[in-house]
């Protein structure tokens, strides 16, 4: 029986395992050094906030794995000998495979800041990070102040977590406005205000210079690059993005760049070795996508796709229309298609932006200014229907159609106030003034 070994029990590896099991009778082993069972990484924040217990982040009950004959192996892979198809574990033992899938995800970026390895400095990615945070910042007496470095999705989650325990947070963001490498200006600035409304000390245009230690090797304070200001703190969250977690591959024959290099079939340069999820890097980016996509959904899609290939129906990874979502404190965000920020926006892309007066809801619709084709939408505080936008993108609807039919795409709960009329009015007004 063919033995499929998957390194990493995140969404990519587990999706793959589930689909391989559905399609075949192969022997499947998932290796992880992080946890015994698959959990939803995106839910770690809710454990710290007390909304859930850690066990609730596990989407499958513990009996699921044995019942579906998916073997779980706890261990850390030190090296991979692809010539002999053998994994060598840090614990000293080995395991052979017929097909190997690398799905080891990411690790938080560290940019060589002095003091970045002190006790109390951490990212927020793994179960261990959660445990560390529980220990460093159990309450606002033990952790009197926290500093978060890096204005992205994980940074704002970490700020929300600390906020839930009334721990004062200073949030250092390198950019001129929160996440404005991705979000257009109007949206980004609305989120700036929302962060401040939560009494989070948001510092834009601000870089970290160094992290200072006390006599026990714990974080004592940080120094800001621009002003030299020293901020006393007990926890420093490093949330300046993530990069593929593949250092264990450096002595193997598997070709890597930032991530594990794969072709459109998610194959590496070595036969029978594949890579999926955050740690995979496409030779050439697919459409507007980045070569490395560190997103929950793409990890899952790669798992769904590769299962077909492994089970004999060779398929390219060919994702459909881009979509994503996040939540910024109390404001939900969804995106369908492509909406570029001021950075890297193609010349033909034009935006229609509408914002509600309460400053917690807005949308941005991107369209081609020459052909009027709808390109994508960002929506904040209003839920939209994935299926509707997916269809409109496939049908290449024009922007007028989308704005006039927005109601069809609304996914807010019943009895919610609708804003389609306001949006349409604003849109027509904008057309007149142009």
Straight-line distance from the first to the last Cα atom of the chain, in angstroms, rounded to the nearest whole number: 67
- The answer to whether residue 107 forms part of the interface with another protein (CB under 8 A) is no
- The answer to whether residue 56 forms part of the interface with another protein (CB under 8 A) is yes
Query: For another protein, which is the closer residue by CB, 202 or 208?
Result: 202
Q: 11-29 b/e with 16+ CB inside 10 Å = b?
A: bbbbbbbbbbbeebebbbb
Side by side, the strands of the sheet bearing 331-337 are 323-328, 331-337, 374-380, 362-368, 349-355
Stretch that binds another protein, among 1-9, 111-119, 158-166, 172-180 (CB under 8 A): 158-166
Stretch that binds another protein, among 172-180, 240-248, 253-261, 300-308 (CB under 8 A): 300-308
- The answer to whether 390 touches 336, Cβ cutoff 8 Å, is yes
- The answer to whether 328 touches 302, Cβ cutoff 8 Å, is no
- The answer to whether residue 22 forms part of the interface with another protein (CB under 8 A) is yes
CA-closest candidate to residue 264, choices 287, 242, 296:
287
Q: What part of residues 224-283 is at the interface with another protein (CB under 8 A)?
A: none
Least separation, in Å, of the C-beta of 323 and another protein?
A: 5
Run of H or E residues at 193: helix 185-197
- The answer to whether residue 178 forms part of the interface with another protein (CB under 8 A) is no
Run of H or E residues at 86: strand 86-89
- The answer to whether residue 114 forms part of the interface with another protein (CB under 8 A) is no
> Of residues 86, 116, 325, 373, which one binds another protein by CB under 8 A?
325
- The answer to whether residue 141 forms part of the interface with another protein (CB under 8 A) is yes
Stretch that binds another protein, among 144-152, 225-233, 324-332, 419-427 (CB under 8 A): 324-332
- The answer to whether 398 touches 367, Cβ cutoff 8 Å, is yes
> Of residues 25, 36, 59, 343, which one binds another protein by CB under 8 A?
59
Q: CA-to-CA distance for 125 and 111, rounded, in angstroms?
A: 17
Distance (Å) of CA 99 to CA 94, 122, 249: 15, 34, 16
- The answer to whether residue 51 forms part of the interface with another protein (CB under 8 A) is yes
- The answer to whether residue 286 forms part of the interface with another protein (CB under 8 A) is no
Q: What part of residues 357-416 is at the interface with another protein (CB under 8 A)?
A: 383-387, 390, 394, 411-416
Q: 179-202 b/e with 16+ CB inside 10 Å = b?
A: bbbbbbebbbbbbbebbeeeebbb
Query: For another protein, which is the closer residue by CB, 292 or 382?
Result: 382
Least separation, in Å, of the C-beta of 247 and another protein?
A: 27
Q: CA-to-CA distance for 151 and 240, rounded, in angstroms?
A: 7
Which positions lie near another protein, rule CB under 8 A? 11, 19, 22, 40, 42-43, 46-47, 49-54, 56-59, 61, 131, 134-135, 138-142, 164-166, 197-198, 296-297, 300-301, 304-305, 308, 313, 315-321, 323, 325-327, 329-330, 332, 334, 383-387, 390, 394, 411-417
């Amino acid at each position: 029986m063919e033995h499929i070994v998957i390194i990493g029990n995140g969404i990519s590896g587990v999706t793959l395992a589930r689909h391989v099991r559905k399609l075949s009778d192969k022997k499947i082993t998932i290796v992880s050094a992080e946890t015994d069972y698959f959990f939803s990484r995106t839910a770690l924040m809710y454990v710290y906030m007390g909304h859930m217990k850690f066990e609730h982040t596990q989407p499958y009950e513990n009996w699921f794995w044995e019942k579906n004959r998916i073997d779980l192996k706890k261990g850390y892979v030190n090296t991979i000998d692809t010539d002999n198809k053998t994994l060598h574990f840090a614990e000293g033992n080995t395991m052979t495979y017929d097909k190997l899938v690398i799905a080891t995800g990411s690790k938080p970026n560290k940019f060589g800041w002095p003091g970045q390895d002190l006790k109390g400095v951490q990212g927020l990615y793994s179960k261990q990070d959660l445990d560390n945070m529980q220990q460093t910042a159990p309450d606002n007496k033990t952790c009197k102040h926290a500093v978060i470095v890096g204005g992205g999705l994980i940074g704002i989650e970490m700020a929300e977590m600390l906020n839930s325990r009334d721990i004062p947070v200073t949030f250092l963001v390198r950019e001129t406005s929160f996440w404005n490498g991705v979000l257009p200006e109007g949206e980004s600035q609305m989120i700036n205000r929302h962060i401040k409304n939560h009494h989070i000390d948001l510092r834009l245009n601000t870089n970290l210079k160094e992290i200072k230690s006390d006599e026990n090797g714990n974080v004592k304070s940080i120094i800001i690059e621009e002003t030299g200001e020293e901020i006393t703190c007990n926890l420093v969250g490093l949330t300046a993005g993530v990069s593929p977690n593949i250092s264990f591959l450096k002595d193997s024959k598997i070709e890597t760049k930032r991530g594990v290099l794969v072709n459109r079939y998610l194959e590496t340069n070595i036969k029978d070795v594949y890579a999926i999820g955050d740690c995979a890097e496409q030779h050439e980016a697919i459409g507007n996508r980045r070569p490395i996509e560190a997103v929950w959904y793409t990890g899952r899609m790669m798992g769904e796709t590769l299962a077909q290939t492994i089970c004999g129906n060779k398929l390219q990874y060919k994702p459909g229309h881009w979509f994503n979502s996040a939540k910024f404190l109390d404001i939900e965000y969804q995106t369908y298609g492509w909406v570029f920020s001021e950075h890297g926006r193609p010349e033909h892309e034009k935006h229609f932006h509408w914002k509600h007066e309460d400053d917690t809801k807005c949308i941005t619709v991107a369209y081609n200014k020459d052909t009027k084709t709808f390109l994508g939408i960002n929506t904040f505080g209003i839920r939209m229907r994935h299926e509707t936008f997916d269809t409109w993108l496939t049908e290449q609807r024009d922007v007028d159609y989308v704005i006039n039919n927005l109601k069809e795409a609304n996914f807010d709960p019943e009895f919610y106030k609708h804003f389609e009329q306001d949006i349409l009015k604003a849109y027509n007004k904008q057309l007149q003034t142009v």
